[in-house]
Amino acid sequence: RKGRRSSTSVGYLKGAKKRANLKIQTRANAQRIILNGTRASGVEFIDDSGTLSTVYAGREIILSASAVGSPQILLQSGIGDGTQLRDVGVELTHHLPGVGKNLHDHLFIHLQTRLKAAYPTLNQMLSNKPRMGLELIRYGLTRRGAFGLTSTEICGFLDSRESGSRPDIQINYRPFSFDYSSEGGFVFHPFPGGTASICFTRPKSRGEVRLLAKNGGTCLAIQPNYLDRIEDVQGMLFGYKILRKIVNTAPFSNRLECEHGAGADAQTDDEIIEHIRNHAATIYHPAGTCKMGNDEMAVVDDRLRVRGLSGLRVADASIMPVITSGNTNAPSIMVGEKCADMILSERNQ
């Protein structure tokens, strides 16, 4: 809104943080859920001074720490697969084998383009410090200009299976191109360029989040198993070839000078697959590690309650049995909204 990306902090906390019944504890890490029998009764956390504290719940606890953090906290609480927990020295409090399993994520790959000099992009604007300074001033005064744009200006969906059912490929285009820097950021190219990307949005590969034996079972191993299934490899290959077809078709091809960077020389399917395996990266959409359901690997029920326990719910992307076919931010907010509705409806009964 008005050139600024929203967030749950802006949309929810900003208006609620002054409420007398709300206390926000920052710079604190939740360590484990305290169980009293089969009821969740409190949470242990460590603040930035290293002090371990405990808070107790009068009614219930809502765990919303992401598809990585939520299973980690459950596992550190002894809630998970009994054999795995005992192997890392964590006392079992509640056997729930699905905790941390079913991890899946959205993987994407770039195709960078160098455009003809007559077609400038954000590269020229953002690699020129005086021009960037003017753009910052413009944004501060009007919320418009380069810094008022989203990073992705074009987005589309298509079906790699060509079955006409549900899309499984997301295509993005950004009006800039870049190289990653050694410091972890990126550097814009000095020439006009753009970045096309594809993401396979319905991955079949599954990984897991699990504890390691180090430090009493508080170290985490994240194994995403990207491209473990051939369907995911074929989907990424299909999407990459579609990207290449688009940039080499008019009117885009009229502005294209050449492909640029890694992958430009990959022509055969085997070469493209090797490029994908070497350069594809996460979009940071992990999901599924505390999945909803009624099978033996489900972690929460259809009311987001942890199965076999009372007083404990999970509300984040970890409860998704299957990841959404688009970005996970809005669906995760929806999960939180639905959780709130469920709690209020139960208390009003």
Q: What would the DSSP string read from start to end of 114-141?
A: EEPTTS--HHHHHS-HHHHHHHHHHHHH
**pLDDT over 90 percentage in the chain:** 78
Query: Rounded to a whole number, what is the distance in angstroms from the first to the last CA of the chain?
Result: 37
Question: How many CA atoms are closer than 13 Å to the CA of 344, on its beta-carbon side?
Answer: 6
Q: Is it the case that residue 218 has pLDDT exceeding 80?
A: no
**What confidence tens digit (pLDDT) does each residue in 32-69 have?**
999 999 999 999 999 999 999 999 999 999 999 999 99
CB within 8 Å of 236: residues ≥ 6 apart: 107, 109, 198, 200, 227, 273, 276, 280
Query: For the residues 192-202, what does the mean pLDDT come to?
Result: 95
**What confidence tens digit (pLDDT) does each residue in 279-313 have?**
999 999 999 999 999 999 999 999 999 999 999 99
**pLDDT category of residue 216 using cuts at 50, 70 and 90:** low
- Residue positions annotated with a catalytic role: 285
Domains and CATH numbers, the chain: 8-103+287-347 (3.50.50.60), 107-208+215-282 (3.30.560.10)
**What confidence tens digit (pLDDT) does each residue in 19-32 have?**
999 999 999 999 99
State yes or no: cis peptide before 71, omega within 30 of 0: no
Query: For the residues 218-242, what does the mean pLDDT come to?
Result: 95
